[in-house]
Structure 1
Amino acid sequence: MADDEDLGAEVAVEEEPQPLSLQVEVEKPSPCERRIAVTVSREDIDRYLDNAYSDLMSSASVPGFRIGRAPRKIVEQRFRDDIIERVKGSLLMDSLSQVSEEQDFAAISEPDLDLEAVEIPDEGPLTFEFSIEVRPEFALPKWKGLKLKRPTHEFTDAEVDQQIEQMLARYGQLAPHEGPTEAGGYMVVNLVATADGAEVARDEDRLVRIRETLSFVDTRLEGFEKLAAGKKAGDRFQAKVKLTQDAPNEELRGKEVAIDFEVLEVKRLQLPELTEEFLDELGEFESAEAYRTAVKQNLERQLEYAQQQQTRKQISALLTEAANWDLPPSLLKRQSVRELERAVMELRRSGFSEAEIRARENELRQNSAASTAGSLKEHFILERIAEEENLDVEDGDYDREIFLMSLQSGESPRRVRAQIEKRGLMDVLRNQIIERKVMDLVQGAADFDDQPYEPPKQTVEAIPFAVGGAEGDIPQATEDAPADDKK
């Protein structure tokens, strides 16, 4: 019995892997870039080769010999190329892992390493180089006790009525209107954009709501409401706009483009009545008053978003005041898409309509470089605070965010989660949650001065169309336009 206990007490202890004898040289082309040269000693190469051949000996199949019985020299000759490739992969992977652990930087991208260019020499050490993007090094700014202004607002009955009308618009019917266009009404147009007399883009049968500003992917047309006022089917009018410096068509960035509008139809919106059946369809509301209460809560959530955004803007300005480090253009270009995704998820979580989200999307695209740079600097600082304060994300945090987004879209939380996972955006959602937790922490330690706030009116009509052309793969937002009774 005692012998059995002694045997049971014996536990096999795995040997710690022997570290590599690396020589590492690090260059800093910019605060967010590292150029790293690594030298692996010949002793390490021979050790890895010896281990690889030893592991292979028992299973090597060589003609004329039983499996595992071939002499080592013959095995080495027969399987040399395969073993060299396998050892190269192991050496590179272990070297990168060791460099990451030993060097004092936080990587934010995968190493830019040309695997095909790396070869294990017959003699001497192995050398290879790679570039990697890292979080910049900086002194963490003081974040406790910031003095901030906080917007406050009490929603009136008239504002709730206006919001109800806006929310019901997506369920309304567009009916043909024989008269001229009206502010807030709709028209169907053909758009033709020209630069220096040559056509660069065309968009046909586009349903447009008549608002003060018409926002495109690469520009904004101010005063659109006045331009479109009083127009009838068959009328034409023109406007000139200047493309942004972030326009998809690089050749036309910053240049003037003319847009010709041809009015095909004028339409008027007919809103649905709040019947019992329709209230049930909207969300199983027991009464019009219950729906009204839900709409007011949605407005308050949008106010909370505005408070967070304005507070965040102040915090970001204070925290990034000394963040004068430059960010690589490649990093900005890659992260601009992720920043757009993050902003859209935040808007959906806060209950904004798809029309409002499209307007914000276009605004971000028109100023992508500047907005991405500011957001990235802010993210690096908030991430550092989160690490120092041991803030992390829990499963319940994901569930809450996804539930709020499902309220906006009308889809089930399970479907919303599946869409986020399919598009590889769970890391974006995680960053969003972490940043909000840090902002809550910073706000909890801040001194606030409450000030009256007037929620912005919906004055922008956004369409997913680049008037400069070459728009590439522009994701189409989910439409929430009212139905056309002709369809």
Structure 2
Amino acid sequence: MTQVPPSTERKLEVKEVGPCKHEIKVEIPPAEIATRLEERYRELNNAVTLPGFRRGHAPRRVLEKRFGAEVANEIKVALIGDALREVRDKHDLQPMDDPEVDLEKIALAEGSSCALSFTVEVRPKITFDGYKGIPAKKPVATVADAEVEEALGKLREAKAELVVAPDGRVAENDQVVGDLNATADGAPIQQTPEATFFVHGRMTVFGLPAPDLARALIGRRAGDTVTVPITFPKEHTDPQVAGKTVQLAVTIKEVKRKVLPELTEAWAQELGFDGLAALRARIRERIQQEKELEAKQRAQAEILAEIRRRAQVTLPAGVLERESLRVLRRWAMDMYFQGVPEEEIEKRIVEQQAASKDSVAEAMQNAFLIEHIAGKEKIFVTEGEVEERIAQLAARVARDPQEVKRYLEKNDQLPDLRRKLREEKVLAFLLQNAALS
């Protein structure tokens, strides 16, 4: 539908009725209503064919009888859209959601004016400019020799070779291949042939820590069957085992042991380094980078928290409530598909409702403040920066950058990527302009 320019007789009244909430009243004169109706019925007449009439030659009264309610609602929606645009353009307000309007209660008829009345929640107006010179701890990161050796040990673990245990007996950290059979009250719950798992004190069964299982397995050999009772609490998330004592039988079929590579110059060279010194240096560099990033992020979070405290941004209550509810619903759905009983889901939702709302409020305030600072300081993201980040993402997953870009475009994720990049630039600006000590 072609937009009709608002008549000079149109009356628009905007009144603040609460924090981030405005009441909008609009009166559209009869002449504009008549023009819109005439135009829409003309478009409709040229688009549809009614029995007994050639296209474009149906009398308007016939069209009104067939399409009257639909046309009226289309025009009402267009009038509301016009009003919102006028609110944005002339009153510098940015509605955050479409208003909830009962179209059936709006009277619209040719020869009469049309009155609209609705409320909208708008983005908060932020005038706070004291975001420079915020005190924060200077990001500092140091790497101890012990951290390097610990990381080197984990690397050896990752590169370990699994061989059949020479003595055939299970030891701590051995890998066991065995048949699992879980029963409760004599009824089978789960059978897993040739399951593979490592034996250690942090083992879990159905998500419950089971140190007794590790103790029972250690010292046994292939061919042995070990049965361990495991009692699950009533509130356990899996209804199969909640409140029951499960008998878990493990028949050992094979025991394998990790053989770590020896810490030699030759091994370091196999990994592509000149020697152990170069390998340790690379590990130290990686840990240093990780700790520097963590320290920087902590400082940025500290600065942003202080800006939130000082700025005291008032949020649109309805938007906050809906977003909090959306987060809780998504969490509830995740729990449901994980097998959590509905009563337990309801209990957790009630317990986390306040914390969830606080978390959402903090995220919304951060977003508004970052956007405000970006605007004030003219911090933008260039297409070159977007392309560079896409190339980095592509390298992580060994994909072609253009393939990754097409994926982001297809899933409408490029705007999110740009927002993320701008957020990073704003946080870097705040850290650069902070009073670090």
Mapped pair 1:87 → 2:78: no
Per residue, is there more helix in 1 or in 2?
2
Mapped pair 1:330 → 2:319: no
Mapped pair 1:52 → 2:59: no
Q: Is the 8 A contact 2:172 2:199 kept in 1?
A: no
Question: Aligned in 2, Cα 1:151/1:80: closer, same or farther, shift over 3 Å?
Answer: closer
Cα displacement string for residues 180-214 of structure 1 (whole angstroms, at most 9, x for unaligned residues): 545x9999999x9xxxxxxxx99987968968899
Q: Name the amino acid aligned to 1:315.
A: I
What is the CA distance between 1:418 and its match in structure 2? 4.9
SS of the aligned residue for 1:153 comes to coil
What is the CA distance between 1:306 and its match in structure 2? 0.3
Question: Aligned in 2, Cα 1:171/1:441: closer, same or farther, shift over 3 Å?
Answer: same
Q: Name the amino acid aligned to 1:179.
A: V
Matched residue, 2:414: 426
Q: Is the 8 A contact 1:160 1:296 kept in 2?
A: yes
Question: Aligned in 2, Cα 1:337/1:37: closer, same or farther, shift over 3 Å?
Answer: same
1:125 is matched with which residue: 114, 130, 136?
Answer: 114
Cα displacement string for residues 217-240 of structure 1 (whole angstroms, at most 9, x for unaligned residues): 9xxx9xx79888745264455687
What is the CA distance between 1:319 and its match in structure 2? 0.8
Q: Is the 8 A contact 1:111 1:130 kept in 2?
A: no
Larger Rg: 2
Question: Aligned in 2, Cα 1:37/1:210: closer, same or farther, shift over 3 Å?
Answer: farther
SS of the aligned residue for 1:392 comes to coil
Cα displacement string for residues 274-327 of structure 1 (whole angstroms, at most 9, x for unaligned residues): 99xx99999xx6767787666555434322320222112210221112437566
Matches within 5 A, 1:205-216: none
SS of the aligned residue for 1:436 comes to helix
Q: Is the 8 A contact 1:37 1:128 kept in 2?
A: yes
Q: Name the amino acid aligned to 2:75.
A: V
Matched residue, 2:362: 374
What is the CA distance between 1:170 and its match in structure 2? 6.2
Matches within 5 A, 1:251-266: none
Q: Is the 8 A contact 1:148 1:446 kept in 2?
A: yes
Matched residue, 1:460: none
Question: Aligned in 2, Cα 1:373/1:93: closer, same or farther, shift over 3 Å?
Answer: closer
Matched residue, 2:344: none
For these two proteins, the number of residue pairs brought into alignment is 379
Q: Name the amino acid aligned to 1:125.
A: C
Question: Aligned in 2, Cα 1:203/1:89: closer, same or farther, shift over 3 Å?
Answer: farther
Question: Aligned in 2, Cα 1:121/1:434: closer, same or farther, shift over 3 Å?
Answer: same
Mapped pair 1:163 → 2:163: no
Mapped pair 1:111 → 2:98: yes
Question: Aligned in 2, Cα 1:81/1:407: closer, same or farther, shift over 3 Å?
Answer: same
Matched residue, 1:179: 170
- What's the Cα RMSD here? 5.6
2:390 is matched with which residue: 402, 407, 420?
Answer: 402
Matches within 5 A, 1:306-385: 306-322=294-310, 323=312, 325=314, 328-334=320-326, 368-385=356-373
Alpha-carbon distance between aligned partners in 1 of 2:196 and 2:87, rounded to the nearest angstrom: 55
Question: Aligned in 2, Cα 1:387/1:334: closer, same or farther, shift over 3 Å?
Answer: farther
Unaligned runs of 5+ in 1: 1-13, 193-200, 250-255, 340-363, 450-487
Question: Aligned in 2, Cα 1:102/1:370: closer, same or farther, shift over 3 Å?
Answer: same
Alpha-carbon distance between aligned partners in 1 of 2:284 and 2:232, rounded to the nearest angstrom: 38
Mapped pair 1:143 → 2:131: yes
Question: Aligned in 2, Cα 1:395/1:58: closer, same or farther, shift over 3 Å?
Answer: same
> TM (normalized to structure 2)?
0.62
What is the CA distance between 1:331 and its match in structure 2? 1.8
Matched residue, 2:348: none
SS of the aligned residue for 1:88 comes to helix
Question: Aligned in 2, Cα 1:408/1:239: closer, same or farther, shift over 3 Å?
Answer: farther
Q: Is the 8 A contact 2:269 2:275 kept in 1?
A: no
Cα displacement string for residues 432-481 of structure 1 (whole angstroms, at most 9, x for unaligned residues): 211211111111112323xxxxxxxxxxxxxxxxxxxxxxxxxxxxxxxx
Question: Aligned in 2, Cα 1:444/1:372: closer, same or farther, shift over 3 Å?
Answer: same
Question: Aligned in 2, Cα 1:15/1:72: closer, same or farther, shift over 3 Å?
Answer: closer
SS of the aligned residue for 2:380 comes to coil
SS of the aligned residue for 2:137 comes to strand
Q: Name the amino acid aligned to 1:377.
A: Q
More relative contact order, 1 or 2 (CA 8 Å, 6+ apart): 1
Alpha-carbon distance between aligned partners in 2 of 1:393 and 1:87, rounded to the nearest angstrom: 39
Q: Name the amino acid aligned to 1:426.
A: L
Alpha-carbon distance between aligned partners in 2 of 1:366 and 1:419, rounded to the nearest angstrom: 36
Cα displacement string for residues 352-405 of structure 1 (whole angstroms, at most 9, x for unaligned residues): xxxxxxxxxxxx999755444333322221221111112122223223333444
Q: Name the amino acid aligned to 2:324.
A: L
Question: Aligned in 2, Cα 1:303/1:91: closer, same or farther, shift over 3 Å?
Answer: same
> TM (normalized to structure 1)?
0.57
Matched residue, 1:386: 374
SS of the aligned residue for 1:150 comes to coil
Q: Is the 8 A contact 1:180 1:231 kept in 2?
A: no
Q: Is the 8 A contact 1:181 1:231 kept in 2?
A: no
Alpha-carbon distance between aligned partners in 2 of 1:140 and 1:118, rounded to the nearest angstrom: 41
Alpha-carbon distance between aligned partners in 2 of 1:209 and 1:131, rounded to the nearest angstrom: 60
Matched residue, 1:442: 430
Q: Name the amino acid aligned to 1:142.
A: G
What is the CA distance between 1:114 and its match in structure 2? 5.6
Alpha-carbon distance between aligned partners in 2 of 1:119 and 1:409, rounded to the nearest angstrom: 54
